[in-house]
């Protein structure tokens, strides 16, 4: 089943985010390599693809896991969690309707 992993950044976490990004991206690449990643990306803090110093307010990942527990376990092990980039992580079942 698909799960949405919705994360919220702590304030002023851009430096931590950038430092930790390679480890975070590696885990996403692993999901993609196994065909389980639907989409992933950050939420810019301003209306721009490149928010610069404004940074990001969080992230969204939609991926396939065996269970909600597995998705939660994966989300909890994210390097952004360990580095305290994220203040909150919510994991929910997700039903893809479009595109078909």
pLDDT single digits (tens) 49-87:
999 999 999 999 999 999 999 999 999 999 999 999 999
- pLDDT above 70 coverage of the chain, percent: 100
Distance of alpha carbon 7 from alpha carbon 5, whole angstroms: 6
Q: What's the domain range around 87?
A: 2-94
Identify the CATH number of the domain in which residue 88 sits: 3.30.70.1060
Predicted pLDDT at 80: 98
Residue 99 lies in a domain: no
Residue 100 lies in a domain: no
Residue 88 lies in a domain: yes
- Total number of domains constituting the chain: 1
**Cβ distance 31 to 63 under 8 Å?**
yes
Q: Is 96 exposed, middle or buried (0-12, 13-18, 19+ CB in 10 A)?
A: exposed
Give, for 33, the enclosing helix (H) or strand (E): helix 14-33
Residue 63 lies in a domain: yes
Predicted pLDDT at 100: 86
* List of residues 6+ apart from 82 with CB closer than 8 A: 20
Predicted pLDDT at 47: 97
User: Is pLDDT at 31 greater than 90 in this prediction?
Assistant: yes
């Amino acid at each position: 089943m698909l799960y949405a992993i919705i994360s919220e950044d702590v304030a002023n976490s851009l430096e931590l985010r950038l430092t930790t990004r390679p480890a975070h991206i590696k885990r996403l690449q692993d999901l993609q390599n196994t065909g389980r990643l639907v989409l992933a990306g950050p939420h810019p803090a301003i209306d721009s693809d490149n928010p610069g110093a404004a940074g990001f307010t969080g992230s969204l990942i939609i991926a396939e896991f065996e269970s909600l527990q597995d998705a939660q376990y994966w989300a909890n092990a994210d390097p952004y969690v360990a580095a305290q980039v994220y203040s909150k992580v919510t994991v929910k079942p997700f039903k893809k309707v479009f595109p078909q």
